[in-house]
Amino acid sequence: MGDRESVAIVLGTRPEIIKLSSLIPLLDEICKLTVIHTGQHYDFEMDGVFFDELNLRRPDYQLKVGSLGALEQITKITLGVRKTLPSDVQLVIVQGDTNTTLGGALAASKMKIPVAHVEAGCRSFNRAMPEEVNRILVDHISSLLFAPDMDSRKHLLDEGIDRQNIFVVGDTVVDACKRMSMHVSAQDFKREFGIDSERYALATIHRAETTDCLERLRNVAASLNLVSEMIDIVLPLHPRTRKALETHRIRLGKRVHILNPIGYRNFIAALKGATMVFTDSGGVQKEAGILNVPCLILRDETEWMDMVKRGKNIIVGTKPNRVTKIVRTLLEDKTRLERMKKQPSGLKSGASKNIVNILIGKKLE
C-alpha cells in the first residue's frame, strides 16, 4: 500500500468517530484517504464537536441521512456511499455494527471493492439485536477482518471465515480513550455541570432494544430511581431515550441528574470521576474497563464477555430487584468494588498502528 492507493472510510455515529480517531490520521499519511460521514444519528454540524475534541480533519463528504427506520436508513446509506465513493477507491474501511457499517460494506461489495472491518468478530449471540445481525453480515462481506481479541477471532473461525483474512490487532478505542483521559478532570466536569455530590454513578441508555421495549424501559427507569436512593446518578440523556421516556410518561427521580448529550471530553471526565457506571452500550463497557470504573451492564448479554469473565464488569440485566441488590452489595463491600477496579481489562492498545502496518504489507487490488 502506498501514496497512490485510494482508501475510503465510512462512518456515521459518534462511537465510530471515536474508535476511528486514531486510524484516520495514520491513513492520511500513507494513502489517498476519503472520509464519508453518513449522518446516521446527526448531521456533521452536531457531530462536529467530536471531530474537534479528537483533533480530526473534516470528512470529505456528508450524506446527511438522518434518523430513519433501519431498512430505509441502510438503503439510503448504501446508495449514498455508492454515489460518493471515488472511482479509484481500492478498499473501504468500516467499523463496528451500525447501519452505517452495513450500508458502507454493502455498497463496496456491490461495486466489487474489498471491505476491511474494524472490530470484527464480536458476538453477543442474540440475533434479536440489530447490531448482531449487522456485524455478522459485515464480517461475511469483508476481505480483511481486524479482530480486537482472540475470542473474536475464534467466533470468525467458527463461522468458517478464512483464517488468512483475520488479524488480531487490539481495540482502537483504547488509544482514543487513554489519550482523552490525559487531558480531562472529573472535578472540572462536576464544576461545569453543577454536580455537587461527593460521589455519583454515571448512566448511559440508548439502545433500541431498551428504548423500544416498554417493559425494559420501565425496568431500567425503576432501577435507576431505586439506585439513586443509594447514590446520585448522572445521566446524559440520548434524544431517543428522552423521547421514549416522555412518550410513555416515565419519570426519573430527583437524584437522577439529567444532562443533555455531552461531547467525548466531558463524557470521559464524567466517567473518570464515577464510582460506577450503568450502561447498555458496548463502547462504554470498554471505556469503563480502560479507566478502571466498575461497569454494570443493563442487558442480558454482552459482546464483551472477556471483561465479565475477568470480574471487571457485571451483567445485571434490567430487573430492579437484581440491579439494586448488586449495587447495594458493591457500595457496602468496598473490597469487592476495589477488586473490580484493579482487575485488568484485557483490552490491547496500538490497534490503529497494527492495522496500518498490515495494510502497508498488503497489495490492494
Q: Is the pLDDT assigned to residue 310 strictly greater than 90?
A: yes
Interval 99-113: pLDDT, tens: 999 999 999 999 999
Distance of alpha carbon 152 from alpha carbon 146, whole angstroms:
9
14: CB partners within 8 A, 6+ apart: 41, 42, 47, 50, 264
Q: Residue 363: which pLDDT band, with cuts at 50, 70 and 90?
A: low
Do 282 and 303 contact (CB within 8 A), yes or no? yes
For range 115-131, the mean pLDDT:
96
Do 227 and 219 contact (CB within 8 A), yes or no? no
Q: What is the per-residue pLDDT for 338?
A: 95
Q: What is the per-residue pLDDT for 109?
A: 98
Interval 41-50: pLDDT, tens: 766 656 788 8
For range 303-316, the mean pLDDT:
96
DSSP 63: -
In the chain the domains, ranked by start, together with CATH numbers, are: 6-171+348-360 (3.40.50.2000), 185-342 (3.40.50.2000)
Catalytic residue among 37, 206, 238, 257: 206
Q: Is the pLDDT assigned to residue 225 strictly greater than 60?
A: yes
Q: What is the per-residue pLDDT for 362?
A: 77
DSSP 165: G
Interval 205-222: pLDDT, tens: 999 899 999 999 999 999
Do 32 and 60 contact (CB within 8 A), yes or no? no
DSSP 163: G
Q: Is the pLDDT assigned to residue 4 strictly greater than 90?
A: no
Q: What is the mean pLDDT of the chain?
A: 95
> Following DSSP, what letter does each residue of 70-131 receive, concatenated?
HHHHHHHHHHHHHHHS-TTEEEEEEETTSHHHHHHHHHHHHTT--EEEETTT---S-TTSHH
Our answer to whether residue 206 is catalytic in this structure is yes
Q: What percent of the chain has pLDDT over 70?
A: 97
Enter the pTM of the model: 0.92
Q: What is the per-residue pLDDT for 253?
A: 96
